[in-house]
Chain A
Amino acid sequence: NAGVTQTPKFQVLKTGQSMTLQCAQDMNHNSMYWYRQDPGMGLRLIYYSASEGTTDKGEVPNGYNVSRLNKREFSLRLESAAPSQTSVYFCASSERPLAVITDTQYFGPGTRLTVL
């Protein structure tokens, strides 16, 4: 049982390049999330998927797109990377559909992205 896995662990991009961050969970969870972590700002929600087949914007969605490929996988795409997107990206999942307010979220190890 690996929990939540993310690939890649590290990535360096040039401004304007695109890339997709992959996330998968093997806990049969219904809800999945993408966060970014910046120094002194805690974690901020980019997008979430409350259940398979649905996605919605979080606090900071600009410059990102997501795909809930199936129940296990939730990818985050940067179409045209900018230096402001340099950050650590975390994927998380929680058990119940509609991401019930009292649920615990389980986090992956993160992807450290640098945009030059």
Chain B
Amino acid sequence: AQSVTQLDSQVPVFEEAPVELRCNYSSSVSVYLFWYVQYPNQGLQLLLKYLSGSTLVKGINGFEAEFNKSQTSFHLRKPSVHISDTAEYFCAVSMNLQGAQKLVFGQGTRLTINP
């Protein structure tokens, strides 16, 4: 069965510092990986996704993630964070369920940016 583990439930960083949010997955088949962001009191929106090809994926708001098949990881990074990046971040793996897509989400990582 496919599963996703986000290793940190909370990550506090200072403004303009770099950040890495960790995500590991388990799957026995081809994987399609997503990062979603949830700003306070809002729904989720897509940051980036890995489907195939280059293992370094660039997303919105300066975020990028690297797919590492040997380490079964898909960590999210940003070289310099802003206060506006304060949000909860979810890693997800997409799988086929009875002919339809199912997203399996990690537990989420709450990113807090301190001035």
Contact = CB atoms under 8 A, between A and B. Distances in A.
Interface of A: 4, 31, 40-45, 48, 50, 56, 58, 90, 92, 94, 98-110
Given A90-B44, A107-B44, A42 B101 contact: no
A75 B34 CA distance: 26
A100 B42 CA distance: 25
Given A50-B99, A105-B103, 20 more contacts: A40-B9, A41-B107, A42-B4, A44-B105, A48-B102, A50-B100, A56-B100, A90-B43, A92-B44, A98-B100, A99-B100, A101-B94, A101-B101, A102-B51, A103-B101, A105-B46, A106-B45, A107-B36, A107-B44, A108-B43
15 contacts: A4-B43, A42-B108, A43-B103, A43-B105, A56-B97, A90-B43, A94-B101, A98-B100, A99-B101, A101-B101, A104-B49, A105-B101, A107-B43, A107-B45, A109-B42
A4 B103 CA distance: 18
Please classify how large the interface on chain B is, using the bins under 10, 10 to 19, 20 to 34, 35 or more.
Answer: 20 to 34
A90 B101 CA distance: 16
Contacts of A106: 45-46
Contacts of A4: 43
Contact of B46 (A58, A90, A99, A104): A104
B14 interface: no
Contacts of A45: 102-103
